[in-house]
A and B are shown apart, each in its own frame.
Chain A
Amino acid sequence: MTRDEAAEFLYREALHLDRREWDQWLALYAEDAVFWIPAWKSETEQTSDPDREMSLIYYEGRRNLEDRVFRIKSGQSPASTPLPRTVHAVTNVLITAREPHAVETSASWTVHRYDTRRKDAHVFFGLYEHRIERRDSEWLIARKKVLLMNDIVPSVLDVYAF
Chain B
Amino acid sequence: MNEMRTIETISPIDSMIDAMIDDRPADGVFRLDRRMFTDPELFEAERRHVFEGGWVFLGLACEIPEAHDYFTRQIGRHPIVVMRDGSGSLGGFINSCPHKGSRVCQLAHGNSRLHVCPYHSWTFDSAGKNRGVKWKAAGAHAPAFDELSHDLRRLPAFAEHNGFLFGSLVGDVPPLSEHLGEAAKLLDLITEESPDGIELVPGSVAFTYHGNWKLQLENASDAYHFTSTHPSYLKVLELRAERPDDATPRSVWESDQPWSEEAAGVQGGSYSFDHGHVLNWGLIPASPAHPMYDRVEALGERLGPGKRDWIFNMRNLTVFPNMQIVESAASQLRIIRPIAPDMTEVTTWCFAPRGESAAARRQRIRSYEDFFNPTGMATPDDAACYENCQAGHASGLVGPLQGYSRGIAATKLGGNVFSDKLGMTPAANVLADSQLCDETLYHNYYRAWRTRMRAGVAREALA
Contact = CB atoms under 8 A, between A and B. Distances in A.
A157 B107 contact: no
A70 B204 contact: no
Interface string B336-367: 00000000010001100000001001100110
B235 A158 contact: no
Given A67-B236, A78-B385, A156-B374, A55 B369 contact: yes
B248 A63 contact: yes
Interface in A29-88: 37-43, 46-47, 50-61, 63-64, 67-68, 70-71, 74, 76-80
A151 interface: yes
Contacts of B239: 67, 70
B235 A56 contact: no
Contacts of A37: 375
Interface residues on B, range: 35 or more
B91 to A, nearest CB: 22
Contact of A54 (B203, B345, B386): B203
Nearest to A79: B380
B42 to A, nearest CB: 23
Nearest to B386: A155
A71 B384 CA distance: 15
B235 A61 contact: no
Nearest to B106: A43
A39 B203 contact: yes
B365 to A, nearest CB: 7
Nearest to A154: B208
B365 A155 contact: no
Interface residues of A, number: 44
B139 interface: no
A97 interface: no
B233 interface: yes
Given A54-B350, A118-B210, A71 B233 contact: yes
Contacts of A57: 369, 373, 375-376
Nearest to A52: B361
B375 A153 contact: yes
Report which residue of A47, A117, A152 has the largest number of chain B beta carbons within 10 angstroms of its beta carbon: A152
Contacts of B74: none
Interface of A: 37-43, 46-47, 50-61, 63-64, 67-68, 70-71, 74, 76-80, 117-118, 120, 151-158
Interface of B: 107-109, 201-210, 229, 231-233, 235-236, 239-240, 243, 245, 247-249, 345, 349-350, 358, 361-362, 365-366, 368-369, 373-377, 380-381, 383-388, 391
27 contacts: A41-B202, A42-B108, A42-B109, A46-B203, A50-B365, A51-B361, A51-B365, A52-B201, A52-B202, A53-B202, A54-B201, A56-B205, A56-B373, A58-B369, A61-B245, A64-B249, A67-B248, A76-B235, A77-B232, A77-B380, A118-B210, A118-B387, A120-B210, A153-B208, A154-B208, A156-B374, A157-B380
Given A39-B203, A71-B232, 15 more contacts: A42-B108, A54-B201, A54-B369, A56-B375, A58-B366, A60-B247, A70-B239, A71-B377, A77-B233, A117-B384, A117-B391, A155-B209, A155-B374, A157-B374, A157-B375
